[in-house]
Amino acid sequence: MPDRIADPWGRRTPFGRGDSWPVRVDRYLQRGVAPADVDAWVPTASILHSNGDALDIAVKDGRMVGVRGRADSRVNHGRLGPKDLFGWQANHSPDRLTRPLVRSDGRLAETDWDTAMDAIVARSKALLDEQGPSAFGFYTSGQLFLEEYYTLAVIGKAGIGTAHMDGNTRLCTATAAEALKQTFASDGQPGSYSDVDHCDVLFLVGHNVAETQVTLWARMLDRLEGPDPPRLIVVDPRPTVPAQRADLHLAVRDGTNLPLLNAILHELIAGDRVDHAFLEAHTVGYDDLVAAVGACTPEWAAAICGVPADGIREAARILGAHDRILSTCLQGVYQSHQATAAAVQVNNVNLLRGALGRPGAGILQMNGQPTAQNTRECGADGDLPGFRNWANDAHVQELAELWNVEPSTIPHHGPPTHAMQIFRYAETGSIRLLWISATNPAVSLPELHRIRSILAREELFVVVQDLFLTETAALADVVLPAATWGEKEGTFTNADRTVHHSDKAVDPPGEARSDLDILLDYARRMDFRDRDGAPLIPWTDAESAFAAWQACSAGRPCDYTGLSYDKLRAGGETQWPCNERFPDGRERLYTDGDFYAEADYCQSYGRDLVTGAAADADEYRAQNPRGVAIIVPAEHVAPAEAPSGEFPLRLNTGRTVYHFHTRTKTGRAPQLVAAAPDVWVEVSPADADGHGLGEGDVVAVITPRGRIHGRARITGIRTGVVFVPFHYGYWDAGPERDGRDRAANELTITEWDAASKQPLFKSAACRLEKVRDAGGETAPAPTTTASRPLRPMPATAGGADADVDEDPGA
Amino acid sequence: MKIALALREAHDAETELASELLAVGERHKAEHDVYHLSRTLHRWCDEHVRRLAEQGTRHGLDLDAEADGEPGRGLLARARERGSELVGRRPEPGVLLLRDLRDLHLVAARASLAWTVLGQGAQAVRDVELLEVVTACHPRTIRIVKWTVQKLKDAAPQVLAS
């Protein structure tokens, strides 16, 4: 059986353009359990990445014993990646939180639910009296369920009435949403994964799909190995698996996506490889783009990006020769300098080519986390629920009527407060209660010494609900033990708008409760009321919360009104919008130019891509009277922290296929731990020589904000760029670590994109210092992925414990 | 012709805006977006000043081609930045921020008006080259004006409600 640690993508099942992607059912059961032993297979989908792979949890004697991909899923056709095959074991981990904790005399001590919740409620009521809603901040996740986000959104926006709500989706997917709002005036993924089956060009910009969406890459690989393969263009400073496979790999300097894309647009325009009929019918702004990129020649961009001008011309030639183009972006764009500006130019490439809303012609502005889409839709982040426009009073009025509250209750005097600003308000003392759910900012936010000092502030009351005593929970005043995936019911939506129902397979450990139950309990204890004195939140469980959300989504782009739990159960996954017009969901948005961009309907009037200043309704109407797609150009500006004498290298932080986020779950699955056990530092051979480094030598990475160390892995990464995975915090760091010398975010800069407010994790300058020789060890980095070593060494493998059954006939 | 007067006025206004952007950034270094963006926008002003100086030469003026030194490079500037960083992490820098953004807005608005006057003058005297400079630069100054308003609107509620 295949070792899916050694081969994360599994066996090939090639197919040709327009054919159906063959099914291959991946199954992993814990040692000693045979398929016939399984009591029940409980349907759900992946919670460890954004792809939304549908799977069943195997249950035996009330315990999870394995997983199996769902053959009937439009997303994965039965396949699973290593995080899903092995990550479920974290549910069993002996260090799960099972009782609430409350801090007393400086220490967290176990208590009962009443005591913990009463402590939160007492502080909440005191703060409402003393200061009002502005004292409250809610920082949530991309890993809860839709019903939980919507409940949280109503608690925050109508119960408390605070503008300070965001999710860690700010770190992963805010730029995707903002880029879509810029181009289409509303969030909403235009494309579909099935565009892979039909495309002639795959254009991956800063998207290491092989590691972030394993089965989507398997689908691409199967196209690449079949008849009529698409051309593959990859923009990435690292030698990722897709880059190794590409027809054209443009290894740009970090943070130079925008000049590269401007030069590609320049070439498309100069060669008149432009679908003028499409532009005429479906867009405004083309002339602005022509003027903006007039001087952006390949030679100009080549000097900034550090790639050959001919490579840029070749990219434009390939893109200009086809109109079934699938373009995708992820963190290489979203977490880099000029994030939104660059993501928008990718949209512009497709608009210029008329490549939108047809099979194979689409855009996937990807998500980072499994349920990030719902954080965005439900308004648990810096948006209003249902992709409503905070600057449109009629939209606020709709919500006020739905919730039966005064419109003035719902903060809409400005854009909802983004995560980095929430932490700034906590730092300056005006946010005094910060409620963090299912995320770990003490490892995942930039400049960690600052974040730790904020969370530790005496004056700040921190509530954390999580599965484990994370680095963040350890700093909290109250810790609430949460039930997770497989232990609760709910729905969630992936990056191509596919809604999955996730059933409860097993009971949560100890007294752990679902996040929904925790939030409903808080609402009950706070006694939030509507305008007529009735409970603000009348729903009591997941299904009734879903019904409430459906009513909120009615008539909006993310319309769920045609769905129900019954319809979604047992493989009934459906893409939104699902309503009377699209009773089975809609595969692609914007076919024939039916946009959501009309001024009275749209989610956003647009923003200045450099300053972030919002346009108003009048400006928007004047610019886009027909409600079509908007071609928004952007000029190149210099980064805040360019490499210089003291810090001559660029720091790039990112991820590996075997781990998710801060490893709260994947760090507790033995196969995944063994595959990538500790932090490493990727350097090029030239930079290694310059610092006297060999493979496995311990090296310090230093920026103006901190210093960490790890073993060096010498790879084909671009010279001048240093890569450090961001997954590794301190809960399992070992005694030789001092609590501030392992996490990549000790080093990162506190800076964010002006339009999307996404922190720029790939935007710092650094230097290297050798600490000591390898002592016979190699870097603890996988050999199977972008961290592939140049020097021969034993390959990463999982052995018998990673054997997975792959059934191509299923 | 008094076009040189308008040129000098625009040059003065952009020079002042460049310097104020740096000063506000330094005073509010712990407001990370203000700090970083003020330096980006300063580079725009720096370019405006250079182009105005070039035009000045054509009109018999001797205008400084540089708005300022490199942002934040001077010893004094560094000391000020460090000081603001420390101050900024204690409560209540918000009121100072609102005041500084208001003042910055007024400086930017003055620069924008100077461009308007200069543009009208350039058309009246049919100075095509000068008009090109105005057309290229003035929109950016307007964007700076809009940013100051946006930042004020974003910052004011929390400062005033807490």
Cα(A95)–Cα(A481) distance, rounded to whole angstroms? 11
pLDDT above 70 covers what percent of chain B?
Answer: 85
Cα(A366)–Cα(A355) distance, rounded to whole angstroms? 17
Is A83 part of a structural domain of the chain? no
Residues from B in contact with A at Cβ < 8 Å? 30-33, 36-37, 39-41, 43, 88-94, 143-144, 146-147, 149-150, 153-154, 157-159, 161-162
A207: three-class secondary structure by DSSP: coil
Residues from A in contact with B at Cβ < 8 Å? 131-132, 134-135, 163, 411, 413-415, 417, 420-421, 424-425, 427-430, 608, 610-614, 637-638, 640, 750-752, 754
Which of A135, A611, A754 lies nearest to residue B162, judging by beta carbons?
A135
Comparing CA positions, the residue from A371, A362, A448 lying closest to residue A184 is A362
Residues A201/A353, Cβ–Cβ less than 8 Å:
no
CB-based contact A608 B161, cutoff 8 Å: no
CATH number of the domain that residue A679 is part of: 2.40.40.20
Indicate whether A607 and A667 sit together in one domain: no
Is A797 part of a structural domain of the chain? yes
pLDDT-derived band of residue A565, with 50, 70 and 90 as boundaries?
A: very high
- CA-based angle A79:A246:A780, to the nearest 5? 65
Indicate whether A657 and A694 sit together in one domain: yes
Taking contacts as CB-CB distances below 8 angstroms, the residues of chain B near A411 are 157
Taking contacts as CB-CB distances below 8 angstroms, the residues of chain B near A420 are 32-33
Residues A364/A276, Cβ–Cβ less than 8 Å:
no
Average pLDDT over residues A219-248: 98
pLDDT-derived band of residue A81, with 50, 70 and 90 as boundaries?
A: very high
CATH number of the domain that residue A352 is part of: 3.40.228.10
Indicate whether A612 and A720 sit together in one domain: no
Residue A289 has a CB neighbour count (10 Å cut-off) of: 25
Taking contacts as CB-CB distances below 8 angstroms, the residues of chain A near B161 are 131-132, 134
* Domain, as residue range, for A300: 175-366+597-630
Residues A615/A622, Cβ–Cβ less than 8 Å:
no
Q: Which amino acid is at A113?
A: W
Tokens of A442: 């003490």
Report whether pLDDT(B79) > 90: no
Residues A658/A725, Cβ–Cβ less than 8 Å:
no
**pLDDT in the model for residue A808:** 85
CB-based contact A428 B157, cutoff 8 Å: no
Taking contacts as CB-CB distances below 8 angstroms, the residues of chain B near A408 are none
Instruction: Name the residue in chain B with its Cα closest to that of A450.
Output: B89
Is A337 part of a structural domain of the chain? yes
Report whether pLDDT(B92) > 70: no
Cα(A287)–Cα(A274) distance, rounded to whole angstroms? 12
Taking contacts as CB-CB distances below 8 angstroms, the residues of chain B near A131 are 161-162
Phi-psi region of A629 (alpha: psi -120 to 50; beta: other; left: phi over 0): beta
Report whether pLDDT(B24) > 60: yes
Indicate whether A621 and A708 sit together in one domain: no
Which of B40, B43, B161 lies nearest to residue A132, judging by beta carbons?
B161
Comparing CA positions, the residue from A759, A725, A760, A755 lying closest to residue A642 is A760
pLDDT-derived band of residue A399, with 50, 70 and 90 as boundaries?
A: very high
Taking contacts as CB-CB distances below 8 angstroms, the residues of chain B near A638 are 40, 43
pTM: 0.96
Give the A:B interface size as CB pairs under 8 Å. 80
CB-based contact B153 A414, cutoff 8 Å: yes
Domain boundaries, chain B: 3-161
Indicate whether A724 and A605 sit together in one domain: no
CB-based contact A613 B40, cutoff 8 Å: no
Indicate whether A230 and A308 sit together in one domain: yes
Indicate whether A619 and A765 sit together in one domain: no
Residue B121 has a CB neighbour count (10 Å cut-off) of: 21
Indicate whether A285 and A331 sit together in one domain: yes
CB-based contact A613 B154, cutoff 8 Å: no
3-state helix, strand, coil in chain A (%, to 5): 35, 20, 50
Indicate whether A610 and A655 sit together in one domain: no
Taking contacts as CB-CB distances below 8 angstroms, the residues of chain A near B32 are 420, 424, 750-752
Indicate whether A361 and A230 sit together in one domain: yes
Is A239 part of a structural domain of the chain? yes
Residues A44/A61, Cβ–Cβ less than 8 Å:
no
Report whether pLDDT(A751) > 50: yes
Average pLDDT over residues A66-78: 97
Report whether pLDDT(B70) > 80: no
Structural domain tally of chain A?
A: 2
Report whether pLDDT(B71) > 50: no
Indicate whether A686 and A774 sit together in one domain: yes
Beta strand A40-45 with A362-365: parallel, antiparallel or unpaired? unpaired
- CA-based angle A479:A483:A487, to the nearest 5? 175
Indicate whether A623 and A677 sit together in one domain: no
Is A317 part of a structural domain of the chain? yes
Q: Position of tokens 């056709």?
A: A77
Is A606 part of a structural domain of the chain? yes
Report whether pLDDT(B73) > 60: no
Residue B147: half-sphere exposure toward Cβ, Cα within 13 Å = 23
Q: Position of tokens 């810090």?
A: A647
CB-based contact B157 A425, cutoff 8 Å: no
- Chain B closest-CA separation from residue A204 CA (Å): 29
Taking contacts as CB-CB distances below 8 angstroms, the residues of chain A near B37 are 610-612, 754
Instruction: Pick B3-161's CATH classification: 1.25.40, 3.30.70, 1.20.1260, 1.25.10.
Output: 1.20.1260
